[in-house]
Each structure stands twice: as structure tokens, then as C-alpha cells.
Amino acid sequence: MKPGQVQALCILKACKNYMANTSQLTRRAPTTLVGPPELKSLSPPLQPPQPQLVPKPAFSLSHGTKIPCSYGNACLDLYFHVLPGTPDSGSYLKQLLPLAWSHNSLTTLKLICKLPGGNGDLEELFYTAALWLHQNHPKTLAHNLLPIAGSLVRFRSLLEVLYGVLEGRDDANYKRKRIKRMQKLLDYYDDLIIKTVGSGRRTSSKKREEIIAMAKKAIEMYEGDQDYQFLHERVSDIYAECLKYDIKSLKKFEQQEKDNVNDPKHSLKLRLTDAASWCPSVDSFFDRATLLCESIAKKVFPREQCSQGSCAEEEEEEADYTSRVRERLMKEVLEPLRKAMDEGIEDMFPRKQHSCPIEKYLNDVKAGGESKINVSAILPHDIIGYVSDKNFGQLVEHQWKAMVEKIYLKQGKFKNCLAVCDVSARMSGYPMDMSISLGLLVSELGEEPWKGKVITFSRNPQLHSIQGSDLKSKYTFMRTMDNQHWDGETDFQKVFDLILQVAVNGNLKPEQMIKRLFVFTSDQDFDDASFNSWETDYEAIQRKFKEKGYGDVVPRILFWNLNDNDMPIPVAHATEQGVARLSGFSYNLVKCFLENDGEIGPHHLMEIDISCSRYQRLAVVD
């Protein structure tokens, strides 16, 4: 195996046959768990306990903890208010989950699966939510394990979900131990089976008692709790399916390598899931706590398969069969796969080298002519990004014109709107392109006298008529708008004075007043961007508009911080009257802004975040 020959494979592809066989979701386990040989000598024999109803504890926030202001929708509260590092976030999450589930169960399930997001603290909240899900909707949790592990959280999270349900707790001490467990799992070559059995040393009597106690607890839980048994089987199913797929791929790869030995130019690739990396080793902590390796081994090496060969006697006892297939799992599956991954790990998770989809589209249009233009193929800021490109400059000019005429003008969007555009030195990259492109688009879609107008972001704001005969010249004008008074703030009262002056001078009717004022800036919140107190400004603005006969049509502000790196999710919630805040950037967010005529509320943002294809595989079943 050469470095770079092993590449990552999504477990959804490895388990596609398992996904298609929905009957597996209701079948019971073919055998019971056996556990280590020491359990056989226990007297009296283990008896499965009777299932008991476990009372659900009532949770409350600690004294002095401030409860966030509710949106009146528990799903929105779950999306916006459950944040990592906040006091009592776990308890608050437990209070919200039943309310959110009652409001919309599928949305709540998606929000639970969104929690990890690569953030360690949020991952802890995911485990809290997963435990709640098992306690209240166990079949839904088990049914969705494959899409959860396949594209929403890490593969190893399956182990923590199973162990968390087995323990039935998520207190602070339990969470601290989680990190140590994961470290043990990563060091799979230092597992006890290698350090102890491999070296000939014996396990101490105290350690042996701990092992027996863990196995006893796992078997009692498995035999006495059907929901846990169902979850255990689904976790082992996923591991078994992936490992069978991977070991088959490895054997095929090794045979191809032998057949291809005289053709060094032809480099073969081996695609593996990371199941072997995150599968507990035999006799490791997770295996002893859950007996998961036993379940996996029996599915990788089923008894009926072994009985047809020479690997077992027909009357082999269950305990002997269990011991043998666990050993085979380690030697014939896990160790070869881990060795292959270690040797070829250089390219196991490569950064995908994709050609730019925008340039691909532009090249296709360039080759096929203007008839190939798809007006909705790329967004305004993408077009602006190529306006000075010598290869595509003329092409994006046509793209912009087609987009404005065939989509937004035809649909009557942004008719009475105006933009305040920050084009200061700190606005670089996509924030600058976003500010200019959206400001320019709003200006071109406006009706007179707002058409072609834009306001600068400044302590002394100016209302400009955008100059230029083509897209490039208009872009250049906006980039170089007079901004000498920029100081990181804007005087909103002066902005509204400019708007009111245009309305009065043009003798406009109230219905001709602009409805929304979009403020595009970067790296600051509304409070920081406002030169004066907004409460004071807004009182003065309302008074002035009322005096001129426009008291009922004061424009509303949408303040969009295009580059908010401190916030994990976009937020559109403001306590200031007449103001909505929007933070962050994504393609879906821009699309939502354009499709909804600039009207974006909290529910829009939540739906955007859980609308991608990976969430569409989730389903509520109980």
C-alpha cells in the first residue's frame, strides 16, 4: 500500500443495501448477548429484569440564569437560543425539546442533528438531545442512525450515543470522562487486549471484577430494555455493513495490485469508510461497556455462514462461537483495514479539487452563446466578482442584464427599496462584492425617484445617483463613492433626512415612499454602526416623517452584517423598533433574501439552515 492510495468513502454508499431493506428496522436480534467467559461461572444465572418505567426528571435553570426572550415558536427558540458555553444550556435544551417536538417533530429532529456542527460544546448538546430522543422517541433515533452518522455527525458519535443511553446520564462528570474515552478509542493499538493478552500478563482480580460488572450491566440492559436492544442492533448493523464492504474492497484491491504488478503507471485507489478507525477494538473500553464487538462479529461472521465451511463445529456452543468470531473480527477485519488506512492515510481525507462551478458555467455560456444563459444560474455577487475579468467581463454584463429584466423586474421585486452600502477599506472579498452587487441590484429595480440611487455608509451620508453606462462602470463608481467621512459608523437620522427630502421635493404620495432600507456592512453590529442612540434617532425620525405627512410609512431597516465571524448562526432578531438584524453569509441566505423581496424573518433563516439534502433523509417514525 502506497501513501495516497486510500480515499474516504461515505458510509451511506457502503450501507446502501441496508438502507433499502426497511424490514431490518423492525426485526429482533437473532441471538442474545453472551459476554465474557467469566459470566458463565456466575451463580445464580443472569435473569432478564422486567422492564420498568423510568420517571423523566424535571429540569429547571439555576437561580439567576436569564431565560432568553422567546420567539413564540419553540423550534425557533431551539435554533437561536441553544448556544454552546452559555449557563445551563443543557437544562434549557431539555426544557425546549418537548415543546419543539409538539410544534414540529421533523423540524426538531433536524435541529437536533444540526447541533454538532463541528463544535465540541454543541456536540455535547447533541448527546444530551440524543438521550432525550431515545427516552421519548426511541424508534426515531434508531431509524435515523445511518443518515446521522453518514452526513450529519461523526461516525464515532454512534458509540457515544449508545453508551450514553446505556448509562442514562449526561452530567458534567460524565462529559469530562467522554474526552478520555475518545482518546482511548483513538489509541486502538494500545488496547488492553494487546497490552495484556499479547504480552502474556494477566488481568488483575479487581480489573476482572470491573469487566464482569460492565458486561453484566450491558446484558441486563440489552435483555430487559427493548428500546436499548433495538438501538444496539442498529449501531452494530451499521458497523457490520461498513466493515463487510471495506474488507471486501480491500481484498479486491489487493488482488488487483497483484494482477497489476507489472504496470506501475496504473495507480489503483482504495476507497474505505472510517468504520475500522472508530470501531471499538475487542476488549477495549467501549467493547466491554456495550459488548458491541460481539454483535458486530456475529453479523460479519454469521453462524450459518461458518457452519457451511470448516471454521466451526455444527454443535458449537454459543459462548465458543462468540469468542471465536470476536477474535476473527480483530485479526481478519479490523487489523488489516487499520493497517491499510495507516499506510495509505496521506490521501484518506483529501481536499476536493473542484473546478469553480461559476467559471464552468461561464465557459459553457461562452462556448454556446447568449442562448445558453440561465438567468438564475449565479447570484449577483458572483456576477460582480467577474465584472473586471478579461475573459468573462462582457459575458457577465449580459448575465446581469438578463437577471435584472427576466427575474426581478418581471416579478416586481424590490420596487420601493433603497440601500446604504459600506464600501470602506475594510470591506474586502465577498463582503465588498455583496454590498455593491445587492446595492446596485436594489437601485436598478427601484421606481422613480429611487431608481438608480444609493446612500453611502458614513457619519455624513450622501445620496448618489449611480453613474455609468454598463455594469463595469457602475461597479467602479460604487467602489469609489465619496467616503471621506467614513469612521465605522453612520448617522441614521441623516440617512432618513435624505430620504424625506427626496419625498418632499418630489411631492410623493405615502405609497411611493420606500418601504425598506437595506444596510450592507461588515464586522459590526447595529449598535456599533449607529452614530447616535437608535431610540433617540427613531423618535426624531418618526416626528419628522409625521410632520411631512409620512408618519405611517416610515421605512423599516434591515441591517445586514455580511461578515460576522463570531456568531455560529445567522440571527434576524432585534429589539429596536423598525429594525431587523441579519448576520452571516451563505448562498442559501442570499437566495432567500432575493426570493422573499428582502423580507427575512427568523423562520426563514432556520429553514435555510436545515433545507440541504443531508437533512432530507431524516424521518420521524414514533
DSSP category for residue 62: P
CB 85 within 8 A of CB 122: no
Edge to edge, the sheet with strand 579-583 lists: 463-465, 453-456, 417-421, 516-521, 556-561, 579-583
Percent of the chain with pLDDT over 70: 73
Q: Considering only CA atoms, which of 357, 381, 361, 383 is closest in space to residue 372?
A: 361
Residues forming a β-bridge with 558:
518, 580
> pLDDT band for position 565 (50/70/90)?
low
CB 145 within 8 A of CB 138: no
CA 621 to chain centre: 22
At residue 270, the 3 state secondary structure works out as: strand
Cell numbers that stand for 3 in this block: 501513501
- Model pLDDT for residues 239-282, shown as the tens digit of each residue: 999 999 999 999 998 888 787 765 655 667 888 888 898 898 88
- Rounded mean pLDDT, 586-595: 81
- Model pLDDT for residues 31-79, shown as the tens digit of each residue: 577 777 666 555 444 444 443 333 333 344 444 455 567 778 899 888 8
Cell numbers that stand for 20 in this block: 433499502
399-428 in b/e form (b: 16+ CB < 10 A) is bbeebbeeebeeeebbbbbbbbbbbbeebe
pLDDT at 480 over 70: yes
What whole-number distance in Å separates Cα of residue 232 and Cα of residue 292? 8
The predicted structure's pLDDT at residue 346: 53
Going from N- to C-terminal start, the domains of the chain cover 6-46+210-347, 358-411, 414-585
The predicted structure's pLDDT at residue 178: 57
- Whole-structure pTM value: 0.75
Q: Which residue has the higher pLDDT, 69 or 327?
A: 327
- Model pLDDT for residues 349-394, shown as the tens digit of each residue: 444 444 577 777 777 777 776 667 776 778 888 888 888 888 888 8
Cell numbers that stand for 269 in this block: 485507489
Angle between the N-to-C axes of helices 602-609 and 74-81, in degrees from 0 to 180, rounded to the nearest 10 = 70
- Model pLDDT for residues 485-537, shown as the tens digit of each residue: 566 678 888 999 999 999 999 999 999 999 999 999 886 777 667 777 888 88
CB 489 within 8 A of CB 530: yes
- Model pLDDT for residues 87-111, shown as the tens digit of each residue: 677 888 889 999 999 999 999 999 9
What whole-number distance in Å separates Cα of residue 335 and Cα of residue 316? 26
Superfamily of domain 414-585: von Willebrand factor, type A domain (3.40.50.410)
Q: Considering only CA atoms, which of 457, 497, 501 is closest in space to residue 481?
A: 457
